[in-house]
Structure 1
Amino acid sequence: MTRRLRDFGLSCGIVEPGPLNAITDVRGVRVGHCTLEEGDLRTGFTAVMPHGGNLFRRKMRAGCEVINGFGKSAGLMQLAELGQIETPLLLTNTLAVGTGFDALVSRALDANPDIGRETGTVNPLVLECNDGFLSDIRARALTQAHAFAALDAAAEGPVAEGAVGAGTGMSAFGFKGGIGTASRRLALDGAESALGVLVLANFGTAGDLVLPDGRRPMPPELEPQAERGSVIIVIATDVPLESRQLGRVARRAGAGLARLGAFWGNGSGDIAVAFSTADPIEHDQPRDLVSLHALNENRIDVLFRAAAEATQEAVLNAMVAAPATMGRDGHVRPSLGDWLARSNP
């Protein structure tokens, strides 16, 4: 059974998690992985789908925050300008962004014959971290077939964490990193809503990690290493928010990273994307004026807190779930889960 942070009596913040404590607690959100682990390869794709339909025709309101911009993601510029997502999100390694881009374009063209003819083009959203410490990133082994496999595997329900999909070769704070997720329950106007986070954790300097109880785990390091990692944070909620508000929520992911001890180093690409599954944008909307349902700005602090807490816990879930891993050239990352198992009474 995969270990999670709460299995060791630790939790982040004060807001209660959803039933799965995962991004899929937001109804309709789906996650899928394709893992490539052979020889010197420790890599893959992870897909996040805001809903199971045609995202180009029924877009999601979105916002993003570039906390530190040392990254090679695709699609962020248009997302920031238009405030919407029109493809699934693909997470992968740095040198496979183009492959993911092509895969998303192929799927969008197959499903929408009018793209590039009667209507505009499509904006694929691909985000990355560098898994080169544990994986032979120069092999460029990932193909469109791997991206399609992650998209086709996307499902509601529990989310596989740790060394899976895009997280297979990632590191965090000197330990093994990877994919992690968490969620928080929200109550607005007497109804229950949710905010969920999925992270690709590949950042942090060894010795800087701070656990919720104040302990500072130190992995066995042969030599000091500069902060050259990255982290991608995907935030989903079913609360109706306009794109400006979603950008504000995405910014609060940085508070969750700071609680962990991160300082967003010069060589780190730290990017958050937030989307709402409520109030979608119809591509074929015939009206000139449309109504917008959005959260009262004076109530947004509940989402800010939820985003910070769920981001912090999602990163720790990734690290706890991931096993100790040996990668290319004998490079090793120990498991935070193993450290906790030894350290806890």
Structure 2
Amino acid sequence: MTPPSPAPAPAPGPRPRARDLGIVIGPTPTGPLDALTDVPGVRVGHTTLRPRPDVHSGVTAVVPDGVRPGAPLPAGVFTGNGYGKLMGTTQLAELGELETPVLLTSTLSAFRVADALVGWMLEQPGCEDVVSLNPVVGECNDGFLSDIRRRPVREEHVRAALDRASAGTVAEGCVGAGTGTVALGFKAGVGTSSRTPEVRGRRVTVGALVQANFGGALRVLGRTVTPRSLGLEDAGPPAETGSCMIVVATDAPLDARQLTRVARRAVFALARTGAAYSHGSGDYAVAFTTTRPGAAPPLADADLSPLFEAVLDAVEEAVLNSLLAATTTTGYAGRTVPALPAAAAAGAASSTGR
């Protein structure tokens, strides 16, 4: 079988983001792109696979500059519900160090993606003598809209996502690892957002990227919005299934223990959007800092509250962006999942008075 050819991630389309609709979450300002790439030294790349009608899948790469086994970054991980295949968690939790990019993909493609990441890493400068490394790869099950058993993501697709990763605008919605995902009754995908909280008199940046694929009933600033309430067919997978992968990056000087606390808040934020945290959901967050140990005075735990609030707000907005950027998709077995109408999201937000 000829593997699907990679499709370049499309430029952001005309569908609005949350802030375009007046949906402003929290008081903290965003970075200039309102994206994970607002954190200096962090790049994002996608490879999107859409040999219609049966495959809607891909891979998304979060690439911190210079990360490798000999130059790891402080990191933490938190599991909200562990029904998933997040590879690399045990070493990440044990050592508190991230030594590869973080890749996101489809469940049954995750193992091939991990192998491809290892091959790519071994070729990077500074890895000439590496004999062990810990690839971090997360996944969501896109099998409702994609023929997941085809395991379409191959080595060339992984390398393309890594090599095209950039520090610019991040494509959202039906791209990369979010091409076939569904969340909260609507077509979802990849979403991102950022915040620049003030901590001890200095501005730091924190960004979040989500691969949204989880069950529950969508809440927009606290108001529930479902396909049925909008007169749309409720055609998604069972509400109790699904997952969400969250990647958080910051330039704040934090240690691994503090980054694990940050990762917890990222998973907690899903509750604001209506997440069910069901039995079959894999809800994970990986958090890392681009500031290496000793490069800046570490923050005290008592100073972290503004950063925690920023993470909660950024993840909530990233989930909404993943929904708003996605488009109605017909996929495997003729299944169709509707996009969230922008007008409905804006109307829900305006009715809250927030």
TM-score above 0.5, yes or no: yes
Equivalent position SS for 2:203: strand
| Residues 56 and 108 in structure 1, CA contact (< 8 A), matched pair in contact too | no
More deviation in 39-48 or 225-234? 225-234
**Pairwise CA distance, 1:342:** 8.9
CA distance in 2 between partners of 1:230 and 1:171 (Å): 9
Query: Cα deviations across residues 179-202 of structure 1 (Å, max 9, x unaligned)?
Result: 000011122343321100000000
Q: Aligned pair 1:155/2:166, yes or no?
A: yes
Equivalent position SS for 2:110: helix
Q: Which residue of 1 aligns with 2:298?
A: 294
Query: Cα deviations across residues 17-71 of structure 1 (Å, max 9, x unaligned)?
Result: 11111111111110000000112100000000122x2523321100000000000
Query: Cα deviations across residues 233-272 of structure 1 (Å, max 9, x unaligned)?
Result: 1000000000000000100112211111113000000000
CA distance in 1 between partners of 2:18 and 2:295 (Å): 42
Q: Aligned pair 1:42/2:56, yes or no?
A: yes
Q: Which residue of 1 aligns with 2:206?
A: 195
Q: Which residue of 2 aligns with 1:322?
A: 326
Q: Aligned pair 1:85/2:89, yes or no?
A: no
> Equivalent of 2:312, from 308, 312, 332?
308
| Residues 134 and 328 in structure 1, CA contact (< 8 A), matched pair in contact too | yes
> Equivalent of 1:257, from 254, 265, 270?
270
Q: Which residue of 1 aligns with 2:5?
A: none
Equivalent position SS for 2:223: coil
CA distance in 2 between partners of 1:342 and 1:18 (Å): 22
1:217 maps to amino acid:
T
CA distance in 1 between partners of 2:181 and 2:71 (Å): 33
What are the ranges of 5 or more consecutive residues in structure 2 without an aligned counterpart?
1-13
Structure 1 pair 162–277 and aligned structure 2 pair: CA distance change class (3 A): same
CA distance in 2 between partners of 1:255 and 1:217 (Å): 21
> Equivalent of 2:225, from 196, 212, 216?
216
CA distance in 1 between partners of 2:295 and 2:21 (Å): 47
**TM-score (structure 2 length as normaliser):** 0.88
Q: Aligned pair 1:238/2:273, yes or no?
A: no
What are the ranges of 5 or more consecutive residues in structure 1 without an aligned counterpart?
281-289
CA distance in 2 between partners of 1:337 and 1:62 (Å): 37
**Pairwise CA distance, 1:343:** 5.1
Alignment of 1:106-185 (within 5 A): 106-111=119-124, 112-116=127-131, 121-185=132-196
CA distance in 2 between partners of 1:17 and 1:148 (Å): 30
> Equivalent of 1:24, from 37, 50, 53?
37
Equivalent position SS for 2:56: strand
| Residues 37 and 168 in structure 2, CA contact (< 8 A), matched pair in contact too | yes
Q: Which residue of 2 aligns with 1:73?
A: 86
| Residues 67 and 98 in structure 2, CA contact (< 8 A), matched pair in contact too | no
Structure 1 pair 81–342 and aligned structure 2 pair: CA distance change class (3 A): closer
Equivalent position SS for 1:12: coil
2:64 maps to amino acid:
P
1:5 maps to amino acid:
A
1:216 maps to amino acid:
V
1:267 maps to amino acid:
G
CA distance in 1 between partners of 2:180 and 2:210 (Å): 14
RMSD: 1.9
Q: Which residue of 1 aligns with 2:77?
A: 64
Q: Which residue of 1 aligns with 2:344?
A: 340
2:262 maps to amino acid:
V
Q: How many percent identity over aligned positions?
A: 48
CA distance in 2 between partners of 1:259 and 1:34 (Å): 30
**TM-score (structure 1 length as normaliser):** 0.91
Structure 1 pair 255–13 and aligned structure 2 pair: CA distance change class (3 A): farther
1:211 maps to amino acid:
V
Structure 1 pair 300–54 and aligned structure 2 pair: CA distance change class (3 A): closer
More deviation in 62-71 or 72-81? 72-81
Q: Aligned pair 1:97/2:101, yes or no?
A: no
Structure 1 pair 86–13 and aligned structure 2 pair: CA distance change class (3 A): same
| Residues 10 and 213 in structure 1, CA contact (< 8 A), matched pair in contact too | no
